[in-house]
Amino acid sequence: MILGDKELRSRITNDLLVQGIEPDQINPASVNLKLGDTWLSPDKMDYPVVLGDCLDYEKIKAREIVISPGEFLLATTEECVNMPHDLSAFVQGRSSIGRIGLTVQNAGFVDPGFHGHITLELVNESPNPIILRAGYPVAQLVFFKTSAVEKLYRGKYNGQIDATGSRMYMDREADKR
């Protein structure tokens, strides 16, 4: 069951489900998320990326940044999310944002137990540069009830504050154990 605005308002107030939110960010069945002011741009390499390797990123702290056609950036949300044991969420790009050619996220699931700011994966699929401004709502969270969760998320992205690069190298380390 997807949570509607009445339950979203209650859970945000009582459970601190989403911190840093304004009332106008609550939609009938989702919550809008705004861009934060930290960005990561992956370093360009002269060789292919190998799954499991550690990647380097340039960290940019700015209220405004331009994403060029075909460019990929990681961004963070202004809001902090605290997922209880009985809720999960999908991160979705807002329709208005997609209609100008900006794709928001490609790994958008939030497990019960996650806490932190959401890292968004952004790709400019339009032929035009797009100016991104901190504070602009680009994504939304759709919450749904989750039952019988025995093991809460305690993964490698819990507690993130800024845009966080891939930690897939930690998967490889876990596989060696």
Catalytic residue positions, numbered:
121
C-alpha closest to that of 14 among 90, 86, 77: 86
Question: For the chain, how long is the longest CA-to-CA vector?
Answer: 51
Kindly report the backbone phi and psi dihedral angles of residue 23, in degrees, each rounded to the nearest multiple of 5, phi listed first: -55, -30
Distance (Å, rounded) from C-alpha 57 to C-alpha 107? 18
CA-nearest of 45, 53, 67 to 138 is 67
DSSP conformation letters of 88-148: EEEEEE-HHHHTTTEEE-SS-EE-TT-EEEEEEEEEE-SSS-EEEETT-EEEEEEEEE---
d(CA 35, CA 14): 24
